[in-house]
Every structure is written in C-alpha cells, then in structure tokens.
Chain A
Amino acid sequence: MLRIRIFPIVIFAVIIIFFPLIARIIPGIGNYPDLMVFAGIYCLITIGLSLLMGYAGQISLGQAAFFGIGAYVSGILTATYGLNPWLCMVFGMIIAALVAVIVGVPSLKLHGHYLAMATLAFGIIVFIIFNEEVEWTGGPDGLIGIPVLSVFGFQFDTLEKYYYLVWFFVFAVFIFTINLIQSRSGRALRAIHASEAASNAMGINVSRFKIMVFVYSAILAALAGSLYAHYLNFINPATFDLFFSIKLLIMIALGGMHEIWGAIIGAFLITFLSFEWLHFFEEFEVIVYGFILLVVTIFLPHGLVGIPHIIKDWLRR
C-alpha cells in the first residue's frame, strides 16, 4: 500500500524553517538561503513533473515553457500594465492551464517518443515567442522592472522573507500532491502508468486524467515562474530554453521520479550543483550533467531515493 510517512515531512519542515538562522552562523554558506529560494522554485516544477512522469507515466520536455508563461504573464502584466501581482500570478496559472489543455488534448494521445517530441516542439515554439515578441516580452534583452511582492503593505523585499514565501508554497503544493497520490485520483494515475487498457476497462477516463495531470503540472510550473519573476525582478528568454526542460528532467531522474521525495532531492541537488559546486567546470557543466544522467539511469534507475531499497535488498542477501 502506498503510504507516505508524516515523520520525514515534519523533519524536513523543521530544517527548512530554521535553515536561514543556521546559515547565518556557519561560515561559508551565507549564500545558501538564496540558493534555497531557487531550489524551492524548482521543487514546485519538479513535484508536478514527478506526478506527470513518475506516477502517470507521461513525458514532457516542455515544462520550461509553462515556467516561462507564468514568469512572462506575471512580468508583463505587473511591469507594463501595473496590475496586482497576486492577480497576475493567478492569471499566469490560468493561461498555463489553458495552454496545457490545448497542447495536451492532441499530444497526450501520443505515447513515448512521440509525446516527447510533441512537448519538445511546444517548448521550442514558446521559447521563440519569448524571443521574438519584443514589443511584449522585451525580446532577448529581457523584461525589467517587475515589482516586489507585497501583501497588505507587507513587502517580501528581503531574501529571508522571500525564502519563507516560496517555501510556504512548496509545502502547500507538496501536501496537496501527496494527498492526491494517496487517493482515488492518484491510484488512477498510477493505473494509467501500468496499463492504459486495464485502466479504461476499470472505468477510468484515461484521456481526461492524463490532461488533468498535465494541466496540474503546468499550473505548478507557472506558479514557479511567477515567483521566479518577482524574486529576480527581471526575466529573459534564456532561462526558459530547452536546456532548462532537460535540466528538470535530470532533476527528477536523479532524485527518483517514482517517489515524490525524489522531486525534492533532485531539485535541491541540481540547484546546488549548478549554482555552487559545479561552477569551476564552466562551459563543461553540460557534460557533467550528461554524465550524471548517464550514471543514474544505468546504476540507479529509481534515482537517489532508490538507494535505501538497494541497500536493504543487498543486506537481505
């Protein structure tokens, strides 16, 4: 029976809450809370992607596009039109959801490689739009002047305030998603992964569930995009390119896509690797990612979260 334990979640929450305080004391990790903001933003995307890929068995190589849609809707509507940022965030999610339905209805009929190619093409198209619609998006130069988030006069203007804001969202999404996994809807998604024919025969509307999970993952990516835009106050298309979609894939493959924790661990590791630990590889960074993906898929098909199981099996022998 799939049961996600509460205890590790509580421990995790405690660590997240106290981390900024600890980071202040320990020398050399002063910039880690900043990285954790990015890790949190990526977690939002990988949680959705893990549900889509690991649980429901559908692939998407276009998640960066939804991330970008959230960021640009928030960015354009706040910086250019001066609308309320929270409202824009909701708009971003709605638009991402609509786009996901339009893209998902035809492409989720495809399987495996074909679905990968369709979502890949979608990602590239959106990337080109970000670059070419200069009037709206600012083109390759990017979009500046995205305001700071505030609620009832309280400004999320410091790193620590933003850190807690992002992680509040991550926890809300995390709890929602594990509830989902352990319910009828979650079982339906896992059933689709195992056998579409049998799922249909059990009365599961397979195409509807596939679209729902795709939309859900798009909404989460858009939310992450909005948070990203308001954190940096500046966005440009390069953030939302194909390589970022692949990086997201590497995150969940590294962490382990069949367990929700894998999404979190993967997002953390890749964030710290790319911003901190792999810096000295410079342009060879991509090769390192390739190597990581290679090693993980060959030796750790269930990702890092699969290691305890491997050790357990090994000890039993």
Chain B
Amino acid sequence: MNEQPTENILEVEDVVMAFGGLTALLNLNFQVESGIIKAIIGPNGAGKTTLFNVITGTFPPTEGLIRFKNTLIENLKAHEISKLGISRTFQTVELFTNMTVLENVMVGCHTRIQSAFIADGLRLPHIKKKEVQMRDRAMEILKFIGLGNKFDESADSLPLGERKILEIGRALATEPELICLDEPAAGLNETETRTAADLIRRIKERGITVLLVEHDMKVVMDISDHIMVLNYGEKIAEGSPLEVQNDSRVIEAYLGSEEEDHASD
C-alpha cells in the first residue's frame, strides 16, 4: 500500500450483505478518513441503513472485511463495537422513552464507566461516586447539544427535533471516535435542521469522525467533506460534494434516465 497523507479510521473491503435472495450491499469498498464528515447518499432502498447496521454490528456481513483503526470488526457484536469507539443514531428514533433526557445520556456512559451488578445493589461507596461522575458527564453533553435545561423531562415528551438531537447526545456519551448518524434531519423543520447541521459540524470540531446518511441535500452539500453515492447496494460515485453533484451516474440514479423511463412504461 502507498503511504497515505491522512489515516483511515474505517476501511470497508468487498462487503456483501445478502438477505436470502435479496442483495442489499454488493462488493462495497470505501474508506473513511479520520476527522472528516463523510456522507452516504442514495435513493430509498440503496442500502444505506443496512451499511450502518453492518458497520455497527447489528448483523455481520455475508462477506467482506471491515477495519476500524486497523482492527477487524465485522464479526464483533454491537456492544463490543460500541466499546471500541463506534456509535450511532437510528433512522426511526430509538430513545429510551421510559427515561428522562438525562438518564438517556447516562445510559450512553454505560461502557466508559463500569460497575458490577452486585456492587450496584449494595450501593457500595465507589458506586455513588461513579453515579455522580456519570451524571456530570451526561449534563456536560446535554449542555453541548443544547438540551441542558430539559434534563429532567421525559424523553418521550420532547418534539421530534430535540429527540433527534438527544439521540446524537446519547451516542456522544459513549465517547466514540466514529459516529454514524442515520438521517439526523429527516422530518425536521428548517430551524431544527440548521441546529442539527450546526451540531454535526461541532462534533467534527471535537475530532470525531462523522458518517452521515441524509436525504436533505442542502445539509449534505453544506457540511460534508466527502460523499459516497449508493444505488441498489453498489457504490456509483464518490468524491467531493462538487464532484458528486456533477456526476452523470448520480443524476441518473436520482432522476432516472430517459431509457429507464421508457422501460418502465
């Protein structure tokens, strides 16, 4: 391999993901440079969320390798991958609705501050200390994402925009080096979208690499350093926002070519 100017935090090699007869990802190869915002776009059903599920360990890929900071992770379980430093949010917001905003983020601290089942039950002195530590860290994160004043509200009571932000906060609490955001702006109004985009930029400034799946092209073009386009589980283009916007294959995938229009008639 040639020496690269910047390090890759994530490398995906020849990944195939098949569900029975359906191939959701087909020989996918790409790298994510450390410290950037990389967007993954593509029409519905292109395999974006499947890719996230494979990277974060929801299920192992049918074939292929995934390397995170030079460790192979494709066969690790989700909770192990989280421990290594990859966190995520979900397209369909998956908050812990039975908890407060603060508690949601405190669950995110789970991997970095450990305790044993029995020690928790006996409430040993070090447990109290850890509890305070988790609380403080969670509060810090809530302030960072701008939900500090809502810490004691039920997560269920928040409007969608704030729920999406809270999910990002919860993911940050795991202290990731790579964060996978699945449509953070979907369903948000213009102000909320701007807040979310701004937050993603600030996450990058903290030195965290961002992998972003998003349909809002304005957000994608504004904040991404690099874009990869998927269609039917295959990479059809990759490059800077400008390069991707002018790629004929991308335009075709999104708008459909004339021939395809005829074919579908």
Contacts and interface: CB of A to CB of B under 8 A. Distances in A.
Secondary structure call for the A interface:
helix
B31 interface: no
A1 B58 contact: no
Interface stretch (B7-15, B115-123, B184-192, B251-259): B115-123
A184 B115 contact: yes
A180 B74 CA distance: 34
B111 A202 contact: yes
B121 A187 contact: no
A200 interface: yes
Contacts of B111: 202-203
B96 A191 contact: yes
A210 interface: no
Contact of B107 (A177, A191, A212): A191
A169 B134 CA distance: 31
Given A197-B58, A203-B111, A180 B117 contact: yes
B107 A1 contact: no
Interface string A175-215: 01101100111111011011101111111111000001000
B82 A203 contact: yes
Name the residue in A180, A183, A184, A202 with the highest tally of chain B Cβ atoms < 10 Å from its Cβ: A202
B117 A202 contact: no
A183 B131 CA distance: 7
A2 interface: yes
B77 to A, nearest CB: 7
A201 B55 CA distance: 11
A189 to B, nearest CB: 10
Interface in A200-251: 200-206, 212, 216
Nearest to A55: B98
Contact of B95 (A187, A198, A203, A216): A198
Contact of A201 (B56, B100, B113): B56
Contacts of A205: 77, 79
Contacts of B96: 190-191, 194-195, 198
Interface stretch (B34-42, B86-94, B205-213, B225-233): B86-94
Contact of B121 (A179, A191, A193, A198): A179
Contacts of A186: 120
B130 interface: yes
B117 A185 contact: yes
A230 B127 CA distance: 36
Nearest to B109: A184
A200 B96 CA distance: 12
A184 B94 CA distance: 19
Given A194-B95, A202-B107, A184 B79 contact: no
Contacts of B83: 203
Contacts of A258: 98
Which of B97, B99, B115 is most buried by chain A, counting CB atoms within 10 A of its CB?
B99
B58 to A, nearest CB: 7
B244 interface: no
Nearest to A177: B121
Contact of B79 (A176, A193, A204): A204
Given A2-B100, A183-B123, 20 more contacts: A2-B103, A179-B121, A179-B122, A183-B115, A183-B127, A183-B131, A184-B106, A184-B113, A184-B115, A187-B106, A194-B95, A194-B99, A198-B90, A200-B57, A200-B77, A201-B56, A202-B107, A203-B83, A205-B77, A258-B98
Interface of A: 1-2, 176-177, 179-180, 183-188, 190-191, 193-195, 197-206, 212, 216, 258
List the 4 closest pairs (A to B, CB-CB), nearest first.
Answer: A203-B111, A200-B78, A203-B82, A183-B120
Interface of B: 56-58, 77-79, 82-83, 87-88, 90, 94-100, 102-103, 106-108, 110-111, 113-115, 117, 120-123, 127, 130-131, 134, 152, 170-171, 173-174
23 contacts: A1-B102, A176-B121, A180-B120, A183-B120, A183-B121, A184-B106, A184-B134, A185-B121, A186-B120, A188-B107, A190-B96, A191-B96, A195-B94, A195-B96, A197-B58, A200-B57, A200-B58, A202-B79, A202-B108, A202-B111, A203-B111, A203-B174, A204-B79
